[in-house]
Chains A and B, each alone.
Chain A
Amino acid sequence: MRLDTERSRDTPEGVSLSLRVAGAPARGLAWALDLAIIFVISTLFGVLTAFLGSLGAGLYLIVFFLLIWGYGVVFELYRDGATPGKRSLGLRVVHDDGTPVSATASILRNFLRFADFLPFAYGAGLVSMLIDRDCRRLGDLAAGTLVIHDRPERFTTLPSAPPIAPPVALSRAERSAIVSFASRLGTWSPDRRIELADLVPPLTHAEGREAVQRLLGMAHHLLGRRTPRKDGLS
């Protein structure tokens, strides 16, 4: 059984794109943010229209109605599938084939929110999200949509090091693990780097900082470098 949240979809261009499905906590947080935004807007608008008497009361109710039923739809259609809450958590709504959400699907998933909310506080939606392997609420199931993580990848530079040939033959997975280790070095504390590098003494024949340096050197070697140089990409 697969435990990760990556789902791949084949495109007409012959590559498979992977979508990282968002879980209930991230989606719940995004929803809470959106709720706060709706609350602030409707309160501000309520204060403004209070000066207009009955006319304002009518206007307020119409705007409140549009906010409740239209907020998600408008943002999902005109802002790349993300409400402000979703955007701040790096989420977006797409069809389950990975294409941007269409009007019908967006309206459907937002209108069926009421069914997800029953019996109270998103009870049905939460149960559906916990059961479904793609973490979809009822509205997503009917509309055929997914909520995915959508952070653009930043390119990392490998710290420079003299290339070292690995002392033993490595499998494909092992090679890719070493390169990934080297490219993610910058995101860890020095202690964590040493802790991870110390897991493979048969490969490094060293401990501590020396082990980290050797793994880094092997990563350069695996990328096809034979002389010391700085990574060409920034």
Chain B
Amino acid sequence: MNRDEFVETHKGTWLRTERLLDELKARTFEADHAELPSLYRRCCHHLALCRQRHYDAPLEARLHSIALRGYHRLYRRDVAGLADFARFFGAGFPRLVRRHAAMFWLAMFLFYGPGLAMGLLVLESPEAIYALLEPAQITQFEDMYREAPQIDRNSAEDFAAFGFYIFNNITIAFRTFAAGLFFGLGSVFFLSYNGLFLGGVFAHLTHAGSSGNLLTFVITHGAFELTALVLAGVGGLMLGASLISPGRRRRLDALRHTAPDALRIALGAGGLLVLAAFLEAFFSGSPWATPSAKILVGAFAWIGVALYLSLGGRRGT
């Protein structure tokens, strides 16, 4: 069979495959698309023949193009649905965190350790806060928490605050995760810096006599927000650890092996931050809950987060 006879014989198959692929792409489905796998295999066979018989480059390019399109169509992976999403937050996420418990405690230490150290330092020598913050920022914090946080806003303003917390906090968390790609150093930096900041501000406001106001504001959403920041750090540290200590894999393979789990933990942290932003905008500063009520709800929130992460998904498969 020479080249022209080959084309004459099989042209119909190629045109049908191309039309089917076009239809699948445009989602019109006029042809029988169950035919695709067999058509695709035949085109692959023709491509192999074309190469083996050294037919011309344009013919090979066209068959290659059909085979590649068919390959892309048949070997695509399905996108996760809503049910997967619910199952993830119901069980998969806390399980994943427990599987990486060592990394979790390391991230907790990297966040709360510097926070505690900075707090004690500022309590001992109040001027130490100026090493971390500008005087203007310090005045701002003092003004913000001089009174108990009874911010009188209408619901539209609450919503604006919600948008800001979503944008700001989740961006910080995802950056903490992504920066872990540099051997974990970026995550260590973001965790420790935020810890220092929190500890410093708390201690400084204790001197100013208004740390109680700050506590009533942050305690409820902080349970989710601070834990989420730590968890985003866990994801970043996992990326870093896989590069530093790849075990029996090559570094790049170790990174690829770890990255999906690390990403899932960071995404779970993003979910917690949506909850935190909601509470921070609509509850933490609201005038309708008394400070003692906020402390009580906050205590339950911390217990709830701890129970969720330690017990979530233990039963069932």
Which label, helix, strand, loop or mixed, suits the secondary structure of the A interface?
helix
- Chain A residues, Cβ within 8 Å of B157: 54
Of residues 214 to 272 in B, which have CB atoms within 8 Å of A's CB atoms? 239, 252, 255-256, 259-260, 263, 266-267
- Chain B residues, Cβ within 8 Å of A138: 181
Closest 6 CB pairs of A and B: A224-B2, A58-B163, A61-B163, A13-B44, A114-B178, A153-B65
Return B307 CB to nearest CB of chain A, in Å: 28
Count how many chain A residues have C-beta atoms less than 8 Å from C-beta atoms of the other chain. Answer: 60
Q: Is the CB of B44 within 8 A of A223?
A: no
Q: Is the CB of A153 within 8 A of B64?
A: yes
Return A104 CB to nearest CB of chain B, in Å: 5
Greatest chain A CB density within 10 A among B154, B170, B252, B259 is at B259
- Chain B residues, Cβ within 8 Å of A141: 252, 255-256
Q: Is the CB of B41 within 8 A of A114?
A: no
Return B220 CB to nearest CB of chain A, in Å: 20
B61 beta carbon closer than 8 Å to chain A: yes
Q: Is the CB of B58 within 8 A of A108?
A: no
B300 beta carbon closer than 8 Å to chain A: no
Q: How far is the CA of A17 from the CA of B170 in the complex (A)?
A: 40
Q: Is the CB of A223 within 8 A of B41?
A: no
- Chain A residues, Cβ within 8 Å of B61: 153
CB-contact partner of B174 in A18, A58, A111, under 8 A: A111
A144 beta carbon closer than 8 Å to chain B: yes
Q: What would 17 A/B residue contacts be, using CB atoms closer than 8 Å?
A: A14-B48, A15-B47, A15-B51, A53-B156, A58-B159, A58-B162, A61-B163, A80-B72, A98-B71, A98-B72, A111-B266, A141-B252, A141-B255, A141-B256, A153-B64, A180-B58, A222-B56
B40 beta carbon closer than 8 Å to chain A: yes
Which segment of B75-83, B99-107, B109-117, B204-212 sits at the interface? B75-83
- Chain A residues, Cβ within 8 Å of B263: 104, 107-108, 111
Q: Is the CB of B178 within 8 A of A113?
A: yes
CB-contact partner of A176 in B3, B57, B164, B259, under 8 A: B57
Q: Is the CB of B256 within 8 A of A144?
A: yes
Return A223 CB to nearest CB of chain B, in Å: 5
**Additional pairs, 9, CB under 8 Å, beyond known A58-B164, A172-B54, A223-B56:** A17-B67, A57-B163, A59-B159, A113-B178, A115-B181, A142-B181, A175-B54, A176-B54, A232-B4
- Chain A residues, Cβ within 8 Å of B267: 107
Which label, helix, strand, loop or mixed, suits the secondary structure of the B interface?
helix
B93 beta carbon closer than 8 Å to chain A: no
- Chain A residues, Cβ within 8 Å of B161: 58
Q: Is the CB of A15 within 8 A of B48?
A: yes
Q: Is the CB of A142 within 8 A of B259?
A: yes
B179 beta carbon closer than 8 Å to chain A: yes
Return A96 CB to nearest CB of chain B, in Å: 10
Indicate with 1 or 0, residue by residue over B146-177, a CB within 8 angstroms of chain A CB atoms: 00000000101101111110110011001101
A13-B72 contact given A58-B162, A77-B79, CB 8 Å threshold:
no
Return A34 CB to nearest CB of chain B, in Å: 18
Return B241 CB to nearest CB of chain A, in Å: 13
Q: How far is the CA of A132 from the CA of B172 in the complex (A)?
A: 29
Of residues 127 to 174 in A, which have CB atoms within 8 Å of B's CB atoms? 138, 141-144, 152-153, 155-156, 172
Q: Is the CB of A223 within 8 A of B2?
A: yes
Indicate with 1 or 0, residue by residue over A54-90, a CB within 8 angstroms of chain B CB atoms: 1101111110110011000000011010000000000
- Chain A residues, Cβ within 8 Å of B255: 141-142
- Chain B residues, Cβ within 8 Å of A180: 56-58
Q: How far is the CA of A57 from the CA of B65 in the complex (A)?
A: 47
